[in-house]
Amino acid sequence: MKIKISNLEEGVHRLFFEGAVEEIGLGEPFFDDYELDVEIDKSARQVVVDATLRLEAKLVCDRCGEEFVHDVEAPFELAFLFGEEPTDDENARALPYDADWIDVGEDLYDYAALALPMRQLCDEACEGLCPKCGVNLNERKCDCRDDEIDPRWSPLLELKKRMENN
């Protein structure tokens, strides 16, 4: 996505964009529409972008395997420095003095992906599946009891517990 800056005077400008996620190059797990709030602070030396991207992702719960919709909010800041040499800071970029546009397309993609949770849970309190009969414990209880767990499975369950506690 490109934002025109050559027509902006020095100072702070607020811009708002919205549309289908496909229009900003995003696909699964993102879907439906996005909203992008952008604050641009333009000066003779630089253009500072303070943005928040909001959209939705369809994820699969790590515990129960059900699909759920997760609201994603991805804030990010970038600085475009007029005429400067490229820097090591990936959030500070060089921009020709006569630049008409800044391009934040790749940033939208990167920050949306970064904003996805490491642990994908439909709910923090998700009960998951019964390790014995596989029933979704969020939907109904089963008759299995912990002490009836087949001992052959217990090392696996221990491992699962440890992974969930990480």
Question: Residue numbers of the site for Zn ion (CB under 5 A)?
Answer: 61, 63-64, 122, 126, 130, 132-133, 142, 144
Q: Could you tell me the smallest distance in angstroms from the CB atom of residue 72 to Zn ion?
A: 18
Of 45 and 58, which has the nearer Cβ to Zn ion?
A: 58
β pairing state of 11-20 and 67-82: unpaired
Q: Could you tell me the smallest distance in angstroms from the CB atom of residue 7 to Zn ion?
A: 48
The pair of three-digit structure tokens given for residue 152, joined into one six-digit string: 């052959």
Of 27 and 151, which has the nearer Cβ to Zn ion?
A: 151
Provide the CB-side half-sphere exposure for 3 (13 A, CA): 27
- Looking up tokens 């090591």 gives 88
Cα(161)–Cα(163) distance, integer angstroms: 5
Of 84 and 127, which has the nearer Cβ to Zn ion?
A: 127
Q: Could you tell me the smallest distance in angstroms from the CB atom of residue 80 to Zn ion?
A: 42
